Chains A and B, each alone.
Chain A
Amino acid sequence: MSLLSVRDLKVSIGAIEVLKGLSFDVSEGKILGLIGESGSGKSMTALSLMQLLPKGSLCAGEARIQGQNLLDLPERVLCDLRGSEIGMVFQEPMTALNPLQTIGDQVAESLVMHEGMGWRAARLAAREVLRKVELPPEAFPPERYPHELSGGQRQRVVIAIAIACGPKLLIADEPTTALDVTTQAQILDLLARLVREEGMGLILISHDLAVVSNIADDIAIMRHGEIVEAGCTSDVFANMRHPYTQQLFEASAHQPPEVSLPEPEALLKVRGLTCVYTRRGSLFQKPVETRAVKDVSFDLFAGESLGLVGESGSGKSTLSRAILGLQPVRSGSITLADRPIDGMKTHRDIRADLQVVFQDPYGSFNPRHRVERLVAEPFWLLDAAPQGQERRDRVTEALEAVGLKADDAQRFPHEFSGGQRQRIAIARALIIRPKLIILDEAVSALDVSIRAQILDLLADLRGRFGLSYLFITHDLHVVRSVTDRVMVMKAGQIVEQGETADVFASPAHPYTTALIEAAPVLRRTA
């Protein structure tokens, strides 16, 4: 029986139509996967079901849950429904909880609101709800505050808030996008179990085909505010009637062309590297030391693409900062083409051989500068920086190398899309022709089809300019498709390294096995 039935749902914000007549059903105890790239209208769908759309949006059509049309109900009735009949889980567990309230109280608040409980009774009941999401009160006292929990644990609390009053429908908007692969797998398991045990209907919204394909009963693929293909998961994957479905599928399993390797010659040598963070307490406390990177050694060969994978907190970022000369080193050495990298004392010439591209290029661009100035920034590393016409030519050359146009130099970063901004960031890294580019989660924030284009671009540039890459990522799929060798990092140490294909085929370390198993895999017939 259909629990929620949506017919011809339309939403417009001002003159822009964001949802163009969606129709779908969700049944009790079933999972509907809603898939689309950013801007496809997935989140708008969720917010219109909750009737929490941004101000000034207009909503038309029908969304019936138990006979009532959600779009017609007055705000007072909607407040009763939200949290009691419909629960929602959001993307950002780090910020979705009130930092000033204990997790127990945040769960209890739902019960006070809807079940007419007093706070004392609600707090007791909240303990059991937290147990249900695998945060037993013995190990995770409800008196804790959100900052005392990890991202995955916080997401469990958000889920507990959503399911506290036993809703019939749960909407999860990208619930695992911000989490590590192993945590992602646990959260997905938890959601699937709750759906089974509580008989809820779940709308699982994601940009990641692989995440959804493994647990959804039905899927609907969205693009530009429309559902282009929908049906039973196995049917959709088996047939792929719509070209966009096919395109999405291919893009997420994308394999850029191979690059032939030149003779191996160690470009970057890291020997016995240890990095330490010291946290100073107050005047009278002993400083606390955390060893973020412990005795790490490896080589990166000229022209090679080396992957570095690990979960957040494994020390990847500290290691990359040390290689960039932005992090003091406790012991050990780093050399680039036999010249030492030594924290902030690193010589300008060495820095010129080393560039970096980050996850969020927008955050690393000064929004008030034009692209020309942004791309030309690394020139200060050169003793004889090109001026005037030569400088403009170099900027044009770099922009064209990454598939942008010469006139783009005069535009501002906000005028570009996410994928284009990442191209600008790559152009900036390329312009002084470095030997090594560190790609720190450089494609993680991009939609699959854009990601495929950027990976192609990187492969092409590597062949043309003889670049080496250090690919730092938590996305095993990227590592598998674009790196020659891979290193797996855990708790500050490299626990496994080798040829990428070998490591994936027969992982030696149990942690690598766990990582590979946790990563969602896209199969043609699910």
Chain B
Amino acid sequence: MMLRYALTRFVSLFLSLAVASVVIFLCIEIVPGDPASAMLGINASPETLAALRAELGLDQPKLLRYFDWVTGMLRGDLGISYTYRAPVAEIVADRIWVSFPLAVFALILSTAIAFPAGIWAARRRGSFGDTALMGLTQLGVAIPNFWFAVILVLIFAINLRWFSAGGFVGWDAGVFAALKSLTLPAIALALPQAAILTRVMRSSVIETLDADFMRTARAKGLSAAQAVRRHALRNALIPVLTIIGLQFSFLLAGGIIIENVFFLPGLGRLIFQAIAQRDLIVVESVVMLLVFAVIVVTFLVDLAYAWVDPRLRQRS
């Protein structure tokens, strides 16, 4: 059952990727003129333009170029960046080792805050503590993460001098040092996410606390806390998983501002600079990579659903 479900999800993952690649390719094609003229701007001489066209392979037919691009990606060849004069695959590989750990770090922080907080508030629904916490999360949702970033830098880097204000020491400096330089950015990213997730977790737990099967569990002799642990949590997790999946995609792709605030050499800054410099080869590849990541995360969330909920395993 589970295997069949996973297979059908896998097929839809593959189809989504194929569609996404066509859309991204066409978007780049739609840019007025062609990528070469977009990159060089309006003052470029016809000779330079023709040279760049040949270099990028723009003189080939579209269909052929699409297949070259896709098969290139499958081989791990993302082309050569025009501004960096280096293989895009290498640049991306460097950057992904910043962005991916940062996103995972932030997600772990936000769930570590949101799960206990959401459950705590749900069990004390309507109490002073619950109201106060919900007020805090309201603030957390409203305040943008870069503001948190600035405040964190002020407190922990400038006043207390516990962390550096920005930059990334690299994984060569040791796991601890690397994680330390990612800590403030991860907290800044995680706080607004945690606020959202706490609210979702709280309402989801409240809903399951009122479910009939919780009464059955109490009638069976489970204490209130045992009933929550054994029966409510897994049921409450189903809607929360969706939000976690969406949040991870956002954290991976949406860290642009935070990466800029902290001068982190991540994917967000790469794509930001590439757009500014009209390096369409890099833009195209990084966007495809992010789409790939988002689709894979969605696939994993789908699998997690089925793992949690037996009714889904059967429906496929």
Which A residues are closer than 8 A to B by beta carbons?
50, 52, 75-76, 79-84, 87-88, 90, 92, 95-101, 109-110, 113-114, 145, 147-148, 158, 161-162, 281-284
Contacts and interface: CB of A to CB of B under 8 A. Distances in A.
B309 interface: yes
Nearest to A91: B212
Nearest to A78: B221
A75 B225 CA distance: 12
Contacts of B11: 283-284
Contacts of A83: 219-221
Contacts of B222: 79, 109, 113
Contacts of A145: 310-311
Given A98-B231, A100-B308, A282-B8, A87 B219 contact: yes
Contact of B219 (A52, A80, A281, A284): A52
Nearest to A84: B221
11 contacts: A83-B220, A92-B212, A95-B211, A95-B212, A96-B213, A100-B235, A100-B310, A101-B231, A162-B219, A283-B11, A284-B8
A281 B316 contact: yes
Nearest to B208: A98
Given A75-B223, A92-B212, A99-B310, 19 more contacts: A50-B219, A79-B222, A79-B223, A82-B220, A88-B219, A96-B212, A99-B213, A99-B311, A109-B220, A109-B230, A110-B220, A113-B220, A113-B222, A147-B311, A161-B220, A162-B219, A281-B316, A282-B316, A283-B12
A90 B235 CA distance: 20
Contact of A81 (B12, B216, B221, B314): B221
Nearest to A162: B219
A146 to B, nearest CB: 9
A244 B220 CA distance: 36
A344 to B, nearest CB: 27
Contact of A147 (B220, B223, B231, B310): B310
B234 interface: yes
Interface of B: 8, 11-12, 211-213, 215-223, 230-231, 234-235, 308-311, 314, 316
A386 B235 CA distance: 50
A79 B12 CA distance: 48
Nearest to A114: B221
Nearest to B221: A83
Contact of A82 (B221, B231, B235): B221
Given A84-B221, A100-B234, A161 B213 contact: no
Given A100-B308, A145-B310, A281-B316, A52 B215 contact: yes
B103 to A, nearest CB: 29
Given A145-B311, A147-B310, A147-B311, A97 B219 contact: no
Contacts of A88: 219
Contacts, number: 79
A90 B8 contact: no
Contacts of A281: 316
A96 B219 CA distance: 11
A113 B213 contact: no
Contacts of A114: 221
Contacts of A284: 8, 11
B212 A82 contact: no
Nearest to B238: A100
A406 B213 CA distance: 43
Contacts of A97: 213, 216
Contacts of A76: 223
B303 to A, nearest CB: 15
- Closest CB pairs A-B (n = 7): A83-B221, A95-B212, A88-B219, A83-B220, A82-B221, A98-B213, A145-B310
B221 A113 contact: yes
A52 B218 contact: yes
A148 B230 CA distance: 21
A96 B216 contact: yes
A271 B212 CA distance: 43
B235 A98 contact: yes
Contacts of B220: 82-83, 109-110, 113, 161
B212 A90 contact: yes
Contacts of B215: 52, 90, 96
Contacts of A98: 213, 216-217, 231, 235
A88 B259 CA distance: 57
A76 B223 CA distance: 8
A99 B222 CA distance: 17
A101 to B, nearest CB: 8
A97 B12 CA distance: 33
B256 to A, nearest CB: 36
B219 A82 contact: yes
A524 B217 CA distance: 39
Contacts of B314: 147-148
Contacts of B231: 98, 101
Contacts of A101: 231
A339 B312 CA distance: 44
Contacts of A80: 221
A283 B9 CA distance: 11
B307 to A, nearest CB: 10
Contacts of B221: 79-84, 110, 113-114
A110 B219 CA distance: 10
A113 B215 CA distance: 16
A81 B223 CA distance: 11
A161 to B, nearest CB: 6
A328 to B, nearest CB: 23
A125 to B, nearest CB: 15
A143 to B, nearest CB: 10
Interface hub of B11, B308, B309, B310 (most chain A Cβ within 10 A): B310
Contact of A90 (B216, B234, B310): B216
Interface hub of A79, A100, A284 (most chain B Cβ within 10 A): A100
Nearest to A52: B218
A96 B213 CA distance: 4
Nearest to B233: A100
Contacts of B212: 90, 92, 95-96
A133 to B, nearest CB: 15
Contacts of B234: 100
Nearest to B316: A282
A93 to B, nearest CB: 9
A101 B309 CA distance: 9
A47 to B, nearest CB: 9
A109 B231 CA distance: 11
Contacts of B217: 98
A100 B218 CA distance: 17
A308 to B, nearest CB: 30
Given A95-B211, A161-B216, A283-B11, A100 B309 contact: yes
Contacts of A161: 216, 220
A25 to B, nearest CB: 22
Nearest to B213: A98
Interface hub of B216, B218, B310 (most chain A Cβ within 10 A): B216
Contacts of A79: 221-223
A123 to B, nearest CB: 16
Contacts of B216: 90, 96-98, 158, 161
B94 to A, nearest CB: 39
Nearest to B7: A282
